[in-house]
Copies of this chain bind each other. A is one copy, B any other.
Amino acid sequence: MPYPGAPSSDILTLLAREFGPDLLTDAEALSSRGRDESGLRLPPAAVLLARDEAQVVRLLLLANEHHFAVIPRGAGTGLAGGCLAETGGVVLDLTAMNRIVRIDTDSVTATVEPGVLTGDLRRAAKAEGLFYPPDPASLDTSTIGGNAATNAGGPACVKYGTTRDYVLGLSAVLPTGECIRTGTATRKGVVGYDLTRLLVGSEGTLGVITQLTLKLLPHPGHQACLAAVFADLGAAMRAIITVMTRGHLPSAMEFLDARCLKLVGDLLPEHVKAGLAAGSDKGNAGGEALVLIECDGSELETLRAVDEIESICRKQGALEILPALDEAGREAVWKVRRSVSTRIHDSCAVYIPEDIAVPIGKIADMVAALPEVEKRHDIVIYAFGHAGDGNIHLNLTAPHESARPRVEAAAEECVRLALALGGTMSGEHGVGLAKRHLLPLEIAPVSLKLQRGIKALLDPNNILNPGKLFPKEAL
């Protein structure tokens, strides 16, 4: 398969004529669209700040005619380099197509353009008593188109699933420049192959999403949560599994391992800190783990659920419990959870964010295996994440840049461990550039061949986001 790169200078001139002021080639535009949250820097040859679907079509037709790469991009909050122009090419920036076309209260759906910020969509839905559940950490800065392209998810997955569960239908431009409408505007639809979910999560390699029809839900209204400290992660996970097998479906179940807890422990209220210190005195081998469980629904219902969950946690040996029933309490507890990433990031020179996922029942095993990896590579691993869906953010760190190769080796080892436990190398971040070399560890040759066949069927000239997702040596 060919591997197109940047357009020639003649073609750039042609593009400038075609798109006028919407084609950006100034240094700031190229630099800002050459970045995402992966830390990689790969500036494109030009940026098209698309205003409508017709421009997307024209760009893709030209790319096929002249064989240059087109890299679709939302807000660039990805962590895997999936929207970067590895070989130059033209970045197709969709952030200006940001209309909320309609919140349809009669049909409980939303129709939006891809550049809408996910947080804006959530607020617009809430104003009508409705709810768009997927909650990637980046929801206030990432776009719904990017969320769909990467099948973004967050803590709410345990109750509500991920982005793919809310995309009913799409308008998209195929790499050939043909426009397609997939799926339905209805909650049920079983006519033909599921092209909607073929595009969702394809990381911008199979089509450019130009409009989305999304399923909304009634807004649950209230939220209440509790934080609980357990002697170790095994005990914490037993509590979480007991919660689920006793009929409770929380809207988030998060955990921090002992290392993370030390890093952000100062944010906890005094009595919890005191409990932690007491626990340490008892000489807990693995160290304590913090669990955060949140419920949503009517006020009465959430308070009652948190009450019952508290009693389950106590029976399962929680050392300390901190209910957070009002907004201020919730904010305090979530601040602990949210501060972990920043503090890890700020505390070390080398930092690789893995986001493996394992079956829920294997989370404790996965985390228990980390000290061996740390020792073998002389690095430090912080583990936290989504206990309700098995998605663990492993933050592999070292204090000096010289240790990077060791951190990378440890990251691959963690991926292998997750796979051995029946897991996957990525629960949220995707493959992009960052993980494509590892893909054959997870995806068997038959599946890889089939996926390459699908890519070739939709994108015969390989002009759309070339090189992403597939192992490079076998383009």
Chain A interface residues toward B at CB < 8 A? 104-109, 128-130, 150-151, 153, 157-158, 161-162, 164-165, 174, 178-182, 184-195, 197-198, 200-202, 206, 217-221, 241, 243-249, 297-298, 300-301, 304-305, 357-362, 386, 388-391, 422-431, 435, 439, 442-444, 446-448, 450-451, 453-454, 457-458, 469
Q: Give the CA-CA distance A105 to B128 in the complex, in Å.
A: 38
Structural contact, B189 and A444, CB atoms closer than 8 A: no
Structural contact, B193 and A220, CB atoms closer than 8 A: no
For A206, A249, A439, the residue with the greatest tally of chain B CB atoms inside 10 Å of its CB is: A249
Residues of chain B lying within 8 A (CB to CB) of residue A162: 188
Structural contact, B178 and A446, CB atoms closer than 8 A: yes
Residues of chain B lying within 8 A (CB to CB) of residue A184: 357, 423-424
Q: Given contacts A186-B427, A246-B218, A247-B298, are A359 and B447 in contact (CB under 8 A)? A: no
Q: Which residue of B lies closest to A386 (CB)?
A: B188
Known: A107-B362, A187-B389, A198-B198. 17 other contacts (CB 8 A): A104-B359, A105-B245, A106-B359, A106-B360, A106-B362, A128-B245, A164-B197, A180-B446, A185-B359, A186-B390, A191-B424, A192-B448, A193-B202, A194-B198, A217-B249, A219-B247, A221-B247
Structural contact, B361 and A186, CB atoms closer than 8 A: no
Q: Given contacts A358-B186, A359-B109, are A431 and B245 in contact (CB under 8 A)? A: no
Q: Give the CA-CA distance A424 to B194 in the complex, in Å.
A: 14
Q: Given contacts A180-B450, A189-B357, A439-B192, are A248 and B218 in contact (CB under 8 A)? A: yes
Structural contact, B453 and A457, CB atoms closer than 8 A: yes
Structural contact, B247 and A186, CB atoms closer than 8 A: no
Q: Which residue of B lies closest to A207 (CB)?
A: B450
Q: Given contacts A192-B443, A454-B457, are A187 and B390 in contact (CB under 8 A)? A: yes
Q: How far is the CB of A295 from chain B (nearest CB, A)?
A: 11
Neighbour of A390 across the interface among B158, B188, B202, B424, CB < 8 A: B188
Q: How far is the CB of A210 from chain B (nearest CB, A)?
A: 14
Q: Which residue of B lies closest to A153 (CB)?
A: B188
Q: Given contacts A245-B128, A298-B304, are A194 and B186 in contact (CB under 8 A)? A: no
Q: Give the CA-CA distance A181 to B419 in the complex, in Å.
A: 13
Q: Which residue of B lies closest to A435 (CB)?
A: B191
Q: Give the CA-CA distance A247 to B162 in the complex, in Å.
A: 20
Residues of chain B lying within 8 A (CB to CB) of residue A150: 190
Q: Give the CA-CA distance A184 to B362 in the complex, in Å.
A: 14
Q: Give the CA-CA distance A304 to B221 in the complex, in Å.
A: 15
Q: Give the CA-CA distance A362 to B106 in the complex, in Å.
A: 8
Q: How far is the CB of A199 from chain B (nearest CB, A)?
A: 9
Residues of chain B lying within 8 A (CB to CB) of residue A298: 247, 301, 304-305
Residues of chain B lying within 8 A (CB to CB) of residue A359: 104, 106-107, 109, 185-186
Q: Give the CA-CA distance A178 to B444 in the complex, in Å.
A: 11
Neighbour of A195 across the interface among B241, B243, B389, B451, CB < 8 A: B451
Q: Give the CA-CA distance A439 to B191 in the complex, in Å.
A: 8
Residues of chain B lying within 8 A (CB to CB) of residue A444: 180-181
Q: How far is the CB of A85 from chain B (nearest CB, A)?
A: 21
Structural contact, B218 and A431, CB atoms closer than 8 A: no
Q: Give the CA-CA distance A197 to B198 in the complex, in Å.
A: 8
For A150, A190, A202, A304, the residue with the greatest tally of chain B CB atoms inside 10 Å of its CB is: A190
Q: How far is the CB of A124 from chain B (nearest CB, A)?
A: 14
Residues of chain B lying within 8 A (CB to CB) of residue A248: 218
Q: How far is the CB of A301 from chain B (nearest CB, A)?
A: 5
Structural contact, B361 and A430, CB atoms closer than 8 A: no
Q: Which residue of B lies closest to A165 (CB)?
A: B165
Structural contact, B446 and A450, CB atoms closer than 8 A: no
